[in-house]
Structure 1
């Protein structure tokens, strides 16, 4: 597997991701070639491969740029705060959940997830890359925000802290609803429901970790 290389000083990776995003949305994965991405971005195919070692890596990089990279500063700031009381934890979780919700209900992101679901079987590496490059880092960062760790001697799916599953589950449910219906309507309803859901989670975390509510 190739390693994605990026350069902060070069605008080329961003131009390649933008070009790839347009083509993936219009044609899907199978019908989008690296030659087409290079032509759309106005660079050589060698340049595309220099920054993104495969079409799968490029697709995941597009997804990361829409969600993970835009959320990292907010999540990192929340994770580095001092130990919080139950009320402070609730406020933090609500702010983080709201930001994540806005990103995963973005119509462009939802369309790309549809492509991932529709064509994932044809590109086995794609799902693994998405899990490693996007899902894993987000899960680790959110665990820091929640102040939870996986159970000892756990691995794989068992390594996901229960509190993290409880935090993510409603957001994923809203994402699925957004894929099946109107994302704007789902977002409005979710914003109304999130405070109550976060309140329950914050109370459970506070009770489990001994934080004072």
Structure 2
């Protein structure tokens, strides 16, 4: 005779992640490295300083645990800023309808403008300018190579579509464009002048002729 109450899916076979999560929904979740990242990104966007002691306190963990999760404050900052930069590039790329060199110019100039006008970036550069510049322009910190790769992908997509045909290696050009972005982002630190994305536009057009 079969039982009146059949076994639930969770007991008759291996539970799904959702089922396991629902089974423990009344228990407090333990903080994780991802929580630290999300909190740090929220603070950056709010133009607040990312303080490791403060993050650890808010997450309810000690500093040793936090550093084990993220490596260092510098590594955490790189991941936070790259996540914002990558998202911004994607959003701009979706909104720009132009093709060829014009597309590259519009994407890069709009990206540069978004970086310059970001409240978190403004605060960071104002308070930690030299350190910020070193962190984002040194190849070994991990930010610059990812930005170069993103710009190279932008150029390669237009090249493969037959929209641009330039007599230079596209990866070399991507590197030069990233250095241009950096120069105008840190203009205040380099020359004392206020950063302005539009100033980069004629230089970009010359590079992409």
Tell me the TM-score normalized by structure 2.
0.56
Cα displacement string for residues 45-77 of structure 1 (whole angstroms, at most 9, x for unaligned residues) = 3663464232222222232244234324545x6
Alignment of 1:94-113 (within 5 A): 94-105=105-116, 106-113=118-125
CA distance in 2 between counterparts of 1:175 and 1:127 reads 11
Structure 1 window deviating more from structure 2 (43-52 vs 57-66): it is 43-52
- Per the alignment, in what secondary structure is the counterpart of residue 146 of structure 1? helix
Change (3 A) 1:109 1:44: same
**Cα deviation, residue 147, structure 1:** 2.3
Tell me the TM-score normalized by structure 1.
0.55
1:144 corresponds in structure 2 to: 153
CA distance in 2 between counterparts of 1:97 and 1:54 reads 30
1:197 corresponds in structure 2 to: 203
CA distance in 1 between counterparts of 2:206 and 2:124 reads 32
Is the contact between residue 78 and residue 142 of structure 2 (CA under 8 Å) also seen in structure 1?
yes
Is the contact between residue 101 and residue 208 of structure 2 (CA under 8 Å) also seen in structure 1?
yes
Unmatched tracts of structure 2, length 5 or more = 1-31, 158-168
- Identify the match of residue 72 of structure 2 among 30, 47, 54: 54
Is the contact between residue 156 and residue 170 of structure 2 (CA under 8 Å) also seen in structure 1?
no
Change (3 A) 1:127 1:64: closer
Larger-gyration structure (1/2)? 2
Say how many residue pairs are matched: 160
Unmatched tracts of structure 1, length 5 or more = 25-31, 82-86, 149-158, 204-213
Could you say which structure has the greater relative contact order, defined with CA pairs below 8 angstroms and 6 or more residues apart?
A: 1
Aligned-CA RMSD value? 4.0
